Amino acid sequence: MEKNKELEIPKKQLPTLQELHHDIEQAFKNDQLNTLLNQPVPERWIKEHPVAKNVRYLPIDKVEFMLKRIFQEYKIEVLGYSQIFNSVACHVRLHYLNPLTGVWSFHDGLGAVGVQTEAGASAADMLKIKSDAVMKALPAAESYAIKDAAEKLGTIFGADLNRKDTIAFMGAYDAKITPQQEDLIDTLLQTSTYDLMQRKHIKSQVDAGINIGDANKFIEDLKLNQQDRINAGLNYNHSDINKKISKEV
């Protein structure tokens, strides 16, 4: 039976990353930041939990070090704390200054720690709580909450330490230059205002292999440095004529 072509649903062409982002250069920088945040945790920093079996963790001092190193400015806001069963729970908000945009963002985190009771007493017996139990448990719960918030930033803060079958992060702009980009750069080079040495330098970098982000930056620069096709005696169209008239008017 022949298919009715009128009823066939046309295949949609998925948009490219370049079409989705309004600022390619900013998108490329964000990609680089995400690549940094998703580097694996240095193995020497990782500790085995003293109580829970097969649980690894990143100490709070390492988390604070990375927050200062990467973001320079951050602050912890305690949104609340409470008692849940025989534990003290804490809710914090980690504010951090985006180093690329200068805009403050935040992630929330939760942490809880069981309060210690006297030897032999049930963990649920609140009448047998040690005198310093809350003093110890609440700051510990805050530390857990800070680490929980920081993990949302990426792998380097311990997000994947106890996960299985994780996928290694690969930046969207780490992929190699596409044939279409390479052809476009060749075309733009031929009509650019760059001198011969500049053109050879760009061509050598492209031939050596660059990523999508760098290719887009070359393309944007070349588009901004194009000859007047009419005065140069090159092939031109109505669009070129309109641009020339607009500039001269």
pLDDT in tens, 142-151: 999 999 999 9
Residue 18 has pLDDT above 70, yes or no: no
Of 41 and 128, which is predicted with more confidence? Answer: 41
pLDDT in tens, 66-97: 999 999 999 999 999 999 988 999 999 999 99
- Give residue 20's region: left, alpha or beta (phi > 0; psi -120 to 50): alpha
Distance CA 89, CA 140 (A): 9
State residue 43's pLDDT score.
Answer: 92
CATH class of 40-157: alpha beta
**Whole-model pTM?**
0.64
Buried b (16+ CB within 10 A) or exposed e, 75-100: eeeeeebeeeebebbbbbbbbbeeee
Residues 6+ apart with CB under 8 A from 92: 76, 77, 78, 79, 108, 109, 111, 142, 145, 146, 149
Distance CA 190, CA 177 (A): 19
State residue 69's pLDDT score.
Answer: 95
Domain boundaries, the chain: 40-157, 173-248
Out of 33-37, 90-94, 97-101, 226-230, pick the least confident: 226-230
State residue 181's pLDDT score.
Answer: 86
